[in-house]
Amino acid sequence: KAGVTQTPRYLIKTRGQQVTLSCSPISGHRSVSWYQQTPGQGLQFLFEYFSETQRNKGNFPGRFSGRQFSNSRSEMNVSTLELGDSALYLCASSPGTTSEETQYFGPGTRLLVL
């Protein structure tokens, strides 16, 4: 099976712009979770989508949003970018049947906000 893919891999934006990141999960997986990783805060949970519905949400401002399509692919959007949004954004997929199942991570999208 192909692994989790994320596009783009690298992105440079300026403050105030918005950005959309994409994640394609492993075939058959219905849950997609998004994480932000920074040197200062480490790996933080953004949200999880399952069957096109947001199932869990972390403690991030409303500028961070996402959606999931019927084929389980997911997008994450960040509006009005701030310098502090510079980070590695990781998505992870899992079957979605239990909360203790293994998550498989993509390579990440590195976002730099100038």
CB of 16 to other proteins, least distance (A): 26
For position 102 contacting other proteins by CB under 8 A, the verdict is yes
For position 42 contacting other proteins by CB under 8 A, the verdict is yes
Q: Calculate ∠ Cα 34-76-38, nearest 5°.
A: 50
- CA–CA dist 13, 90 (Å, integer): 18
For position 83 contacting other proteins by CB under 8 A, the verdict is no
Backbone angles phi, psi at 63, to 5 degrees: -65, -20
CB 109 within 8 A of CB 7: yes
Identity of the residue, 45 or 60, whose beta carbon is nearer to other proteins in the bound complex? 45
Identity of the residue, 67 or 107, whose beta carbon is nearer to other proteins in the bound complex? 107
Among 26, 32, 33, 76, the residue binding other proteins under the rule CB under 8 A is 33
Q: Which residue has the tokens 């409303």?
A: 62
What percent of the residues of the chain are helix, what percent strand, and what percent coil, each to the nearest 5?
5, 55, 45
CB of 21 to other proteins, least distance (A): 13
List of residues contacting other proteins (CB under 8 A): 4, 33, 35, 42-45, 48, 55-58, 88, 90, 92, 99-100, 102-108, 110
